[in-house]
Amino acid sequence: MRDESKTIARGLQQRDPDLLDRLIEQYQYRLFRYLVYVTGDNARAEDFFQETWIRVLERGHQYDGKSKFEAWLFAIARHLVIDWQRSKKAQSLDALTDPELENPMQFANEKAPSPLQQTLAKESEENVQSSLKKIPAIYREVLVLRFQEELQIEEMASVLSIPVSTVKSRLYRGLDALRGALQGGTA
Amino acid sequence: MSENVHERGLQLIAKARVEGLSQSEGEWLAAHTRECDFCAEHARQTDRSLRALRTTAIPVPADLAARTQFRVRLRATELRQREPQRRMLWLACAASWIFGIASAPYVWRLFEWLGHRAGLPKLVWELGFGLWWTIPAAFAVIVLLLENARQSEEPDWTKQGG
């Protein structure tokens, strides 16, 4: 893991285009998913996705390979979202979710081998989707980083630029909110 | 069963998922959930919620990676082209400063002579000498400002509405 990070750091310092191509391929799903959760909008997530990689190219020399690459990548993406949000004078990450949009979060079905399973899966996806929308973005974000991206709490603290204790308290509240939202959704 | 016991149970259920439990905490929780249906159900609900979160799939647009790779390569080319220009600018500034330092005593005398010839007060030609020194820095600032202005004229995705 450490060697991989060091190799990435060296490649980024040299702005190695092949390395960047490989990283874009490798992290496309995780970064896009994170951005969709944070922004609540696929089109906006696409913009931020591209801009994040441009920043990785421009600021690659700042990555020293001492931490996980994905933590650095998510931190860049997050700062971009926050900068954009500040420029729009929004007040919280939740402001990025446009309630006017019919489907601010688009989720794909898992496997749908039969029409019945497809319908059930769709209902379940929609349930999760609408439930997640009920959770404040700051909690949604920590849940995604911890339980989808499987980042360590210390790594999350560096991504979010907040103390470890705040990460933990957000996780506890987020977990509570998630359970509550899903229970409410299924009720 | 007291409320405190349930409260501890619920806290440990969350802690187990967030940061993990010590052995003694794990043993206590396992024993408690065997006896307490309420806490056992709470644990199951928590796990179901997390499973739902983990298994929710978000499709990545098919050409997003390719489009991004193209944009990144384009930007890399742009940066490579701009690098020698910037290097030249700083080299020119450095050379100008070095020349300025080396020629300072002569320029001082020149300003002094010009000041006497024109009958200017000492403060004025000393000020002129000071301004002469700021020329390289002012030149660098102008070039950088022009470059920044040119960059800001380029289409900026963050300015898109919505």
- Answer yes or no: do B79 and A171 touch at CB < 8 A: no
Which residue type sits at B77? T
Candidate from A21, A131, A172 with C-beta closest to B69: A21
In this prediction, residues B87-112 reach a mean pLDDT of: 83
DSSP state of A147: I
Q: What is the pLDDT of residue A120?
A: 52
Minimum mean pLDDT range among A35-49, A94-108, B4-18, B54-68:
A94-108
| Contact in structure between B147 and B89 (CB atoms under 8 Å) | no
Q: Where are the domains of chain A?
A: 1-98, 113-187
CB atoms within 10 A of CB B12: 21
Cα–Cα distance measured from residue A134 to residue A151, given in angstroms and rounded to the nearest whole number: 23
At B47-63, the pLDDT tens digits run 988 888 888 778 899 89
Kindly list the residues from chain B whose CB atom is less than 8 angstroms away from the CB atom of residue A84. 158
Candidate from B48, B58, B68 with C-beta closest to A50: B68
At A143-180, the pLDDT tens digits run 989 988 889 999 999 888 899 999 999 999 999 898 88
Candidate from B48, B61, B72 with C-beta closest to A20: B72
Kindly list the residues from chain B whose CB atom is less than 8 angstroms away from the CB atom of residue A83. 158
Average pLDDT of chain B to the nearest whole number? 83
Chain A, window 144-173: residues with a beta carbon less than 8 angstroms from a chain B beta carbon: 144, 146-148, 153, 168, 171-172
Q: Name B57's bridge partners.
A: A108
Residues belonging to chain B with any Cβ–Cβ distance to chain A shorter than 8 Å = 14, 17-19, 45-46, 48-50, 52-61, 64-65, 67-69, 71-73, 75-76, 79-80, 157-158, 160, 162
Residue B44: closest CA among A166, A148, A186: A186
Report the CATH fold assignment for A113-187. Answer: Arc Repressor Mutant, subunit A (1.10.10)
Q: How many residues does chain B have?
A: 162
Q: Between residues A91 and A61, which one has the greater pLDDT?
A: A61
| Contact in structure between A85 and A30 (CB atoms under 8 Å) | no
- Token pair 């187990």: residue: B16
Q: Is the pLDDT of residue A110 over 50?
A: no
CA dihedral A119, A122, A127, A131 (to 10 degrees): 180
Q: Is the pLDDT of residue A98 over 50?
A: no
- Token pair 């405190």: residue: B4
Q: What is the pLDDT of residue B161?
A: 36
Kindly list the residues from chain A whose CB atom is less than 8 angstroms away from the CB atom of residue B52. 124, 127-128, 131, 182
Q: Is the pLDDT of residue B155 over 60?
A: no
Q: Between residues A86 and A111, which one has the greater pLDDT?
A: A86
Cα–Cα distance measured from residue B130 to residue B33, given in angstroms and rounded to the nearest whole number: 81
The pTM assigned to this predicted structure is: 0.67
Domain A1-98 has CATH 1.10.1740.10: yes
A123 interfacial to chain B (CB closer than 8 Å): no
Q: What is the pLDDT of residue A137?
A: 84
Q: Is the pLDDT of residue B19 over 80?
A: yes
Q: What is the pLDDT of residue B162?
A: 35
In a domain, B138, yes or no: yes
Q: Name A108's bridge partners.
A: B57
Least Cα separation, residue A8 to chain B (angstroms): 16
Kindly list the residues from chain A whose CB atom is less than 8 angstroms away from the CB atom of residue B75. 54, 57-58
Confidence band (pLDDT; 50, 70, 90) for A3? confident
Interface mutation target, options B38, B50, B53, chain A, most CBs of A under 10 Å: B53
Cα–Cα distance measured from residue A54 to residue A56, given in angstroms and rounded to the nearest whole number: 5
Q: What is the pLDDT of residue A104?
A: 39
In a domain, B10, yes or no: yes
Cα–Cα distance measured from residue A38 to residue B65, given in angstroms and rounded to the nearest whole number: 19
Cα–Cα distance measured from residue A14 to residue A147, given in angstroms and rounded to the nearest whole number: 33
- Answer yes or no: do B157 and A148 touch at CB < 8 A: no
Q: Is the pLDDT of residue A22 over 90?
A: yes
In a shared domain, residues B51 and B84? no
In a shared domain, residues B91 and B148? yes
In a shared domain, residues B86 and B148? yes
In a domain, B71, yes or no: no
Question: What ipTM did this prediction achieve?
Answer: 0.74
Name the residue range of residue B25's domain: 3-55
- Token pair 């769709």: residue: A122
- Answer yes or no: do B79 and A109 touch at CB < 8 A: no
Q: What is the pLDDT of residue B130?
A: 86
In this prediction, residues B72-101 reach a mean pLDDT of: 82
Candidate from B14, B57, B76 with C-beta closest to A175: B14
A106 interfacial to chain B (CB closer than 8 Å): yes
In a shared domain, residues B84 and B135? yes
For chain B, the domain total comes to 2
Residue A147: closest CA among A48, A34, A42: A34
Tell me the two tokens of residue B83: 């690098």
Q: What is the pLDDT of residue B68?
A: 95
Q: What is the pLDDT of residue B59?
A: 85
Which residue type sits at A96? L
In a domain, B20, yes or no: yes
In a domain, B72, yes or no: no
